[in-house]
């Protein structure tokens, strides 16, 4: 196989959790990898070392001209195979209409009739991390081709040391903080992807961690529409936290790469930080489709700490107000000493 199309045209966090599978396909086949992504993940796709080319998906709301242009681009791509890591009826029918010879996807939903290679996964059971389901799908294609599987290794996103040092100094100057101190970053927004802590909970957590790590500089990160929330947390925390906002997505990734510790809910920035192998502490609800196991980030062993509301195994607890912030801080502090020293 010389040309493969990969499709993960949903949310940022979901897209990041497909990066190990992209890396597996690229390393095992040595092929040209094209990604079909929406506008909000396009810049991330361009940073991915396993992706050679990006096709922009106008989405279901795109007009007829945009949809026709997309179908034309897919037909002209001369792809040997497509792997739909995110499958819905639109994606499935689009790949069939593009006449891509091998069409791979999980064997779920009515959409599977458009694929000629289906892998039974039962993702709804959340028996393993999402990125492992994606890897299983890539392995199935490789096994079918009789190609030895090259297992990917993180970090899946990295910047050259000199480039990152320059970015760190530039960011420090713009934020008015010291480049030489460890940066403790908190992202209080959720993008609506999962239940999250409140602003008051994040403020209390940050206040406690700043007291435990006086050598660290607290930074609140904010994506579009999250600036006011970040400012509220910074003010309520009362520990001199600064707010990093308005950064283009590539610069936002460089900011996260500068963190000594990154804390967030189960949302896109958590998964970007993990792809960089920045130590992460994540807050997850106890819901089968959103458990710490299912949405485990891509950190290497020992560099991720999962926290959730109190509950017994198998219990459904979505109310994040039940998270005891004092207990969460007490769990984070001894674990984080290695990273914030």
What is the chain's pLDDT, residue by residue, as a tens digit (341 residues)? 899 999 999 999 999 999 999 999 999 999 999 999 999 999 999 999 999 999 999 999 999 999 999 999 999 999 999 999 999 999 999 999 999 999 999 987 778 899 999 999 888 888 899 999 999 999 999 999 999 999 999 999 999 999 999 999 999 999 999 999 999 999 999 876 668 999 999 999 999 999 999 999 999 999 999 999 999 999 999 999 999 999 999 999 999 999 999 999 999 999 999 999 999 999 999 887 778 999 999 999 999 999 999 976 566 778 899 999 999 999 999 999 999 98
- Domains annotated on the chain, with CATH: 3-145 (3.40.50.2000), 161-340 (3.40.50.2000)
pTM: 0.96
Residue 312 is predicted with a pLDDT of: 66
- Strands lying side by side in the sheet with 53-56: 53-56, 32-37, 3-7, 81-84, 102-106, 117-119
Q: At 207, list the tokens.
A: 């206040």
Report residue 122: phi and psi, to 5°.
55, 55
Residues 6+ apart with CB under 8 A from 302: none
Contact 309, 322 (CB under 8 A): yes
User: Dihedral, CA atoms, 165, 161, 305, 272, nearest 10 degrees?
Assistant: 90
Is residue 273 reached through a cis peptide bond, with omega within 30 degrees of 0 on the bond before it?
no
Q: At 330, list the tokens.
A: 């007490």
Residue 193 is predicted with a pLDDT of: 64
Report residue 305: phi and psi, to 5°.
-125, 120
Residue 111 is predicted with a pLDDT of: 82
């Amino acid at each position: 196989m010389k040309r493969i199309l990969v499709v993960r045209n949903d949310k940022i966090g979901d897209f990041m959790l497909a990066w190990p599978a992209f890396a597996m396909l690229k390393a095992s086949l040595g092929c040209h990898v094209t990604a079909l992504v929406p506008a909000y993940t396009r810049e991330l796709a361009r940073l991915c070392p396993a992706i050679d080319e990006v096709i922009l998906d106008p989405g279901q709301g795109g007009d007829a001209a945009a949809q026709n242009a997309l179908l034309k681009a897919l037909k002209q791509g001369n792809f040997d195979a497509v792997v739909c890591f995110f499958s819905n009826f639109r994606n499935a029918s689009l790949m069939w209409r593009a006449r891509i010879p091998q069409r791979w996807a999980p064997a779920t939903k009515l959409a599977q009739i458009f694929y000629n290679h289906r892998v039974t996964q039962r993702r709804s059971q959340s028996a393993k991390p999402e990125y492992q389901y994606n890897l299983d799908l890539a392995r199935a294609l490789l096994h079918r081709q009789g190609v030895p599987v090259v297992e990917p290794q993180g970090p899946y996103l990295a910047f050259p040391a000199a480039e990152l040092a320059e970015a760190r100094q530039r960011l420090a100057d713009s934020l008015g903080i010291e480049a030489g101190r460890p940066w403790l970053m908190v992202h209080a927004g959720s993008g609506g992807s999962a239940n999250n802590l409140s602003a008051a909970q994040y403020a209390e957590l940050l206040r406690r961690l700043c007291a435990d790590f006086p050598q660290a500089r607290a930074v609140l990160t904010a994506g579009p529409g999250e600036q006011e929330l970040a400012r509220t947390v910074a003010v309520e925390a009362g520990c001199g936290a600064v707010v990093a906002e308005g950064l283009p997505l590539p610069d936002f990734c460089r900011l996260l790469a500068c963190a000594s510790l990154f804390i967030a809910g189960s949302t896109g920035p958590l998964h970007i930080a993990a792809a960089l192998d920045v130590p992460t502490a994540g807050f997850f609800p106890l819901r089968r489709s959103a458990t710490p196991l299912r949405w485990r980030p891509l950190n290497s062993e020992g560099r991720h700490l999962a926290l959730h509301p109190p509950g017994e195994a198998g219990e459904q607890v979505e109310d994040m107000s039940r998270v005891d912030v004092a207990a969460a801080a007490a769990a984070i502090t001894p674990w984080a000493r290695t990273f914030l020293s």
